[in-house]
Amino acid sequence: MNDSNLSANDRVFLHRSLEATIRIGLLLIITVWCFKIVEPFIAPIIWGVIIAIAAHPLYSRLLRALGERHKLAATVFTFVFLVILIVPTVMLTDTLIDGLKMLADKIRDGSLTIPPPPANLGNLLIIGEPLAKFWLLASENIHSALQQLTPVLKVIGSWLLPAATGAGIAILHFVVAIIIAGVLLANSSGGNRTARAIAHRLADEKGADFSDLAEATIRSVANGILGVAVIQSLLAGLGFMVVGVPAAGLWALLCLILSVAQIGTAPILIPIVIYMFYTANTLTAVAFLIWCIPLSLLDNILKPILLGRGLKTPMAVIFIGAIGGLLSSGVIGLFIGAVILALGYELFLLWLNTDSSSNSEQ
């Protein structure tokens, strides 16, 4: 009797185990399959959420100005942001192509002139002497100097095509992300309820606080890092265009990249200032130098004001999270890293306070 009952129980257990395994396996297959289908859109969706959160205060003002018409406000928002993205991209491409074409034409017809190197350039440690020799060769015979650079130019050329392709894909992603952001903003009330419901399921009564923290952190990083970088690069590009720097759009793009990477615009501005003193008249060069000095220091003024604004989390935590995320996951890691580290910091404080309060009760 016991053996028959045991075997019956074993059969029931095996049947239920097999059924549970099949169900879990099917759920895993469906989950992986859904992820594979959505994977090409993950980056635009994340960017769309980030843009929607960062731009929501501006969208709210626009919504009030348009009489609380959500669809119209979202349409205007999407159109304006697409123009902001596309117009500078077209201008950058035009200036880059024109600059490269002008450089190629001057090299071809021999009209490209490079001034001789400064007399004290050779006194620089390590690089001074070879740099002075190469500069002198370039000022006397540009074709011979370019022949020496042939291996380097080949490497740059092999990197340039994939980089241009990646830049084109990134721009396409941002176009899709802006459209997604417009859709999210048009349904912002429902999206906010969904986010809070998910946060509540994950963290109970603290879920709303963590949801607000993530939202505020994204806005803080958008204003304090990306916003400052965009302002610096636009002002730098305006200065380059006014004084007639060749390929001004390219240098402005490099300023944007270095500003986002927290290196600053100085590595771009200093060589261009030196170039202006050698090629332009003194008044123009001095005016450009005066323009560049406060421009290079602008992030030191704006970043402490904007980064961490409206947050209880220390600015150092937000900054470390943003830079760590940038190094590990690219530009999108600026936001993800800052949000994750801010949430981890708050969870750590919550754990400390809970432990302290339990000890005091005992």
Residue pLDDT, tens place only, 27-74? 999 999 988 888 888 888 888 888 888 888 888 888 888 888 888 888
CB 199 within 8 A of CB 210: yes
Split at pLDDT 50, 70, 90, the class of 355 is low
What are the C-alpha distances in Å from 337 to residues 174, 223, 320? 20, 16, 8
Read off the pLDDT of residues 1-10 as tens digits, 9 standing for 90 and up.
455 555 777 7
First to last CA, the chain: 54
For residues 347 and 3, give the distance between their C-alpha atoms in angstroms, rounded to a whole number: 53
Give per-residue burial for 289-305: e unless 16+ CB within 10 Å, then b: eebbeebbebbeebbee
Q: What is the mean pLDDT of residues 176-198?
A: 80
- Smallest Cα–Cα separation from 341: which of 203, 331, 349? 349
For residues 105 and 131, give the distance between their C-alpha atoms in angstroms, rounded to a whole number: 25
- Name the one residue in this structure whose structure tokens are 């006194």: 123
Answer yes or no: is pLDDT of 298 > 70: yes
Which is more confident, 207 or 24?
24
Q: Where are the alpha helices (DSSP H) in 110-221?
A: 128-140, 142-148, 150-186, 188-203, 207-221
For residues 220 and 315, give the distance between their C-alpha atoms in angstroms, rounded to a whole number: 9
What is the percent of the chain with per-residue pLDDT over 70, rounded to a whole number? 83
CB 345 within 8 A of CB 317: yes
CB 357 within 8 A of CB 351: no
Q: What is the mean pLDDT of residues 193-219?
A: 75
Q: What is the DSSP string of 52-81?
A: HHHHHHHHHHHHHHTTS-HHHHHHHHHHHH
CB 318 within 8 A of CB 217: yes
Q: What is the mean pLDDT of residues 314-332?
A: 79
For residues 63 and 56, give the distance between their C-alpha atoms in angstroms, rounded to a whole number: 10
Answer yes or no: is pLDDT of 273 > 70: yes
Split at pLDDT 50, 70, 90, the class of 341 is confident
pLDDT of residue 125: 63
Following CA atoms 55, 57, 63, 69 in sequence, which dihedral angle do they give, to the nearest 10 degrees? 70
pLDDT of residue 1: 47
Tokens encoding 209: 């606080």
Chain length of the chain: 362
Q: What is the mean pLDDT of residues 129-146?
A: 75
Residues whose CB is less than 8 angstroms from the CB of residue 191 and which lie 6 or more positions away in sequence, other chains included: 52, 184
Around Cβ 10, how many Cβ atoms within 10 Å? 10
Rg of the chain taking only CA atoms, in angstroms: 28
Task: Work out the angle at residue 205's Cα, subtended by the Cα atoms of residues 199 and 210, and round it to the nearest 5 degrees.
Answer: 45
